[in-house]
Structure 1
Amino acid sequence: MDEPWSRWNRKLSWQAAAVHRARVRGCLLGGALGDALGCPVEFHSLDRIRAEHGPRGVTGPVPDGTGVVGRISDDTQMTLFTAEAVRQAHERERLKGIGGAAPRLVRWAYQRWLETQRRPAPDPAAPMPPEYEGPVGRLVTEPWLYARGAPGNACLSGLARDFVPDPAAELGPPGPVNPGSKGCGAVMRSAPFGPALAPVEHAFGLAARCARTTHGHPTGSYAAGALAAIVSHLVDGESVEGAVLRTQRLPARHPGHEETTAALQRALDLAAEGAPDAEKVERLGAGWVAEEALAIGVYCALAADRVTDALLPAVNHSGDSDSTGSVCGTILGARWGDHGLPHEWLERVEGRDTIASVADDLAAESVRT
């Protein structure tokens, strides 16, 4: 018979795994929720949003231009493929003892995502491109992912080159692919590195390097790494403010970090002024570039007491509303878990069952002990 302390330790381990699972679920579902809230008003000015939806702007899920409520964009699509890749890397190392494959597996995952942008539906008979050598994964069998979600030019052009970053490469100099690009297309997809890797420095480093698959500007790398690091801290139980403060130290160790660390500081300073609103959000930018999307998402998550009060200002502004909403939702979900998200909104999100399943697979493979 087990000693009482042994049974207690197993209970604590089960509880820790359940909390980890809830936070990873929250991270992916929260990001999808913010994406879906912002999708219908992306590219709209704040004046137009208020004219169409009332003086408070969007106050919940609304239809997009085709009448669909809860549609997600390329932000969530690429996040899911990132999650699939880092889970595969974990599994490969656990079962085969082979590490170091994550950058290549992430690059292959983005190649699979690219195929969903080229075809109208899954086609089991259609081969992957000749240069593709990786695992197929199950996401390419999901018909709802075969939709053009306004992908960024850097993501599309970057994936035309088969560049795999060196996991040991320096982060300071611009990368060889789109060296001037710091669009938000890398930061919005990088949350899954957070729960998948420990210690947090590894999550930051791998996310930053994998960002260079498509975005070569140092700020694009550091902002992606910063979101992964924030998520890592949150999944481990840190507060949002604590996670942001601790994350600031990571890019500061590398040359060219100034835009990223300054953006995080602006978010912290603005949050100290009280509850978020659209006018304050627009002081941080529009979110089209990496450091602005990161700052807006972080600011809204910091400044509001309730999840809904954070998500709404994250999307009600003149700019990249789905990406800033996605970053904010990712942070909130990682902090509070899926049970802390507004379920009447969450049930409208496209593909939520698949998103939850991908999150559960990632959580099971990466559970912290």
Structure 2
Amino acid sequence: MNTFESSPTLSDAPSTNRWSNSGAADPDVLRPSAQPEARQPAASPLQARQSASVQSTDQVDPRRWRGSLLAGAVADALGAPIESKPMDQIREVFGPHGITGLVPERDGIGGITDDTQMTLFTGEALIRAHARQRRAGSSDVRYSTQLAYQRWLHTQGVPWEKARGPRNPTAVPDGWLMGVPGLFKRRAPGATCFFALKGYGQTGEMGTFTHTLNNSKGCGGVMRAAPAALWSDDPAAVFEIGAMTAALTHSHPSGYLPAGALAVMVHTLVRGGSLADALAACRAQLYRWNGHEETTAALDAAVDLSGRGAPTPEKVGTLGGGNVGETALSIAVYSALATNDLNAALLVSVNHDGDSDSTGAVCGNLVGALYGEDAIEPTWLAQLEMREVVEAMAADLLAEFGPRPPADDRWATRYPND
């Protein structure tokens, strides 16, 4: 796909914009506003060229950016012990308020899941693609992302010769994440991700917006997309990159469009925007894509529900289980809108009957970008597995997408060309 105009995934008929760009995070101010004007599509970022100048993160608040990745990992660990458990059972074990803190797996550490693992590999992919663009003058970010996910597949027990794919001749997987022992643990990965990536290892066929691998809209696409927020200063490019990362494994529009939506919301928030700003920016991009209706309706439901009193697990349950992309995003947005505190939002996002780690991870990406790292409960951070790895990836993304990206040999070893 060379331009947005050539993509059959883009909608010709924008729908009504439900969210105003009011600059406040209070759901009471999220009122219907005028239909946004259709904008001229920009060139696709998927085949990056040097003519597209290195993007600057000068406008990105580092505390908000670090908060996004750290809060996503914290909430992933919060939700992991109660994933898909009935709320009655959760209350029986943890008390009337449900889970209220990390449950240590070992050595006092709360364990992450594949959600955080794959977010780290998304970050690695985007750095490697961007660094290659700087070094060689061009890059294929889709291919770099595919290879990063194949490296993740290898960490889940698939031999490299079966995971790498027919285009990759390397004898061993490279990059610094391959040296992190904690990533080589199988954390109940989603079946869609696992089998789509195993399929690529056999055939070399990548999932795209037009070449579908399945009809899945599982939440495994949206939960890993936050790093796409730094790819560009252009929200349209950010949306497409976020959606692309999910379309590699999830071919239903409601599997990949929520990933683009999350990326744009984080993009807005880390640049100082409010939650209302983020929703407006998300909506402006969503309506341009065919198949957006389920995701748009799910976000509408979150906005509407947020104005109906204090949040409860039962209210969260009316939005769905979070096991598919649009409901995972809806629950995350509702949790952010219905609270005025980062940690309260995380607890709302995980205490329900559904896919608690994924809804928590997505909510954490949002509220971490809204409130910043300093708002995260310190004891949760202290207990977080691989905190230092998440912090290192956050710092490396800021460095690569900053005005003076590293150009030394150490960086080339840490993030080699694909």
TM-score by length of 2: 0.77
Matches within 5 A, 1:253-272: 253-272=288-307
Q: Which consecutive residues of structure 2, in runs of 5 or more, have no partner in the other structure? A: 1-56, 405-418
Q: Per-residue CA shift, 1:24-72, capped at 9, x if unaligned?
A: 21111111001000001112110100000000000111235x7864100
Cα distance in 2 for residues equivalent to 1:325 and 1:19: 23
Are positions 1:154 and 2:189 aligned together? no
Q: What does 1:290-305 align with in structure 2 at a 5 Å threshold?
A: 290-305=325-340
Pick the aligned partner of 1:40 from 81, 90, 104: 81
Which of 178, 181, 189 does residue 216 from structure 2 map onto? Answer: 181
**What is the Cα deviation at residue 246 of structure 1?**
2.1
- For 1:284 and 1:67, the matched residues in 2 are separated by 36
Partner SS, residue 363 of structure 1: helix
Q: Counterpart in 2 of 1:9? A: none
Alignment of 1:70-219 (within 5 A): 70-99=110-139, 101-118=140-157, 129=164, 131=166, 132-133=168-169, 136-159=174-197, 160-161=199-200, 162-164=204-206, 171=209, 175-178=211-214, 180-219=215-254
Aligned to 2:37: none
Q: Could you list the runs of 4 or more consecutive aligned residues of structure 1 that deviate by over 4 angstroms after TM superposition?
A: 16-19, 125-128
User: Which secondary structure state, in structure 2, belongs to the residue aligned with residue 249 of structure 1?
Assistant: helix
Give 1:317's match in structure 2, choosing from 352, 361, 364. 352
Residue 224 of structure 1 pairs with residue 259 of structure 2: yes
Equivalent of residue 353 in structure 1, options 388, 404, 409: 388
* 1:285 corresponding residue in structure 2: 320
Instruction: Report SS of the residue matched to 1:312.
Output: helix
Between the aligned partners of 1:215 and 1:128, the Cα distance in structure 2 is 18
Aligned mate of 1:336, from 356, 371, 376: 371
Q: Is the CA contact (8 Å cut-off) linking 1:35 and 1:323 kept in structure 2?
A: yes
| Greater fraction of residues in helix | 1
Instruction: Return the letter of the residue paired with 1:92.
Output: R
Counterpart residue identity of residue 212, structure 1: A
Q: 1:217 to 1:67 in 2, by over 3 A?
A: farther
Quote the offset at 1:130 in angstroms.
5.7
- Contact 2:104-2:383 within 8 A present in 1 as well: no
**How far 1:249 sits from its partner (Å)?**
2.2
TM-score by length of 1: 0.87
Query: Cα 1:354–1:102, aligned 2, differ >3 Å: closer, same or farther?
Result: same
| Alignment partners' CA distance in 1, 2:339 and 2:124 | 31
- CA 1:339–1:54 in structure 2 vs 1: closer, same or farther (change >3 Å)? same
Task: Write the letter of the residue equivalent to 2:213.
Answer: V
Percent identity between matched residues is 44
Question: 8 Å contact 2:262–2:329 — kept in the other structure?
Answer: yes
Q: Which residue of 1 aligns with 2:276?
A: 241
CA RMSD of aligned residues (A): 2.3
